Amino acid sequence: MFTIDYSKAQEFASIKDGTYEVSIDKAAQDATKGGADFLNIQFRIRKEFQQDFQNNIIFHRIFAKKEDGKYPAGAIMTLAKAAGIPDGTQYKDLDDYLGQLLGKCLKVTVKNEKSEYQGKTYENLNVKRMEKSDIVPLADPTLAVTEDSLPF
């Protein structure tokens, strides 16, 4: 048995403006309640080294253009370049590309901004820049290298 004690509740800190090393936690096609298609990209602030807001998620959306329903090529290519996908890599479709983004590391710069929609003001954390990570990802600690697994 346990008792709810609000005095022990933790407030979630808003991620401050800045640049963070992140990994891609989610990359999928989605739609708003109003039917606008977008790519739902979720960046997780990496926790394997010291930086503020470790393990928090930064939400990023790439909306399809209203004119033709296609996603802006520049936004897709910028994300691919920052995630370290080699130039010229081919994918059978968008879902294949999105699947290959999962787990990729990159660096994002974010800014808190206000926006208005239908008379209401909202606080948004917007991704302003994406670039290649400065830090090589750590190897999976669950993988062990043994004499038997070496090719020589």
pLDDT digits (tens, 9 = 90+) for 6-54: 876 665 668 999 999 999 999 999 999 999 999 999 999 999 889 999 9
Structure tokens at 92: 């059978």
CB proximity list for 124: less than 8 A, separation 6 or greater: 112, 113, 114, 115
Q: Binning pLDDT at 50, 70 and 90, where does residue 139 land?
A: low
Asked if the structure places residue 96 within a domain, the reply is yes
* Average pLDDT rounded to a whole number, residues 104-115: 96
Q: Is residue 52 part of a domain?
A: yes
> Read out DSSP for the chain?
-----GGGPPPPPPPPSEEEEEEEEEEEEEE-TT--EEEEEEEEE--SS--TTTT-EEEEEEEPPTTTSPPPHHHHHHHHHHTTPPTT---SSHHHHHHHHTT-EEEEEEEEEEEEETTEEEEEEEEEEEEE-SSPPPPPTT----GGGS--
Question: Rounded mean pLDDT of the chain?
Answer: 88
For the domain that residue 135 is a member of, what is the CATH number? 2.40.50
For residue 37, is it within any domain?
Answer: yes
pTM: 0.80
Residue 140 has pLDDT above 60, yes or no: no
| pLDDT score of 55 | 92
- Our count of domains for the chain comes to 1
pLDDT of 70 above 60: yes
41 domain-assigned: yes
What's the CA gap between 79 and 85, in Å, rounded? 9
Domain that holds residue 21: 14-149
Tell me if 3 is assigned to some domain.
no
Residue whose pair of structure tokens reads 């990994």 in the numeric block: 23
pLDDT range class, residue 117, cuts 50, 70, 90? confident
Looking at the domain assignment, is residue 7 inside a domain? no
Amino acid, res. 77: M
Q: What is the spatial distance between Cα 59 and Cα 57, in angstroms, rounded to a whole number?
A: 6
Position 151 scores a pLDDT of 55
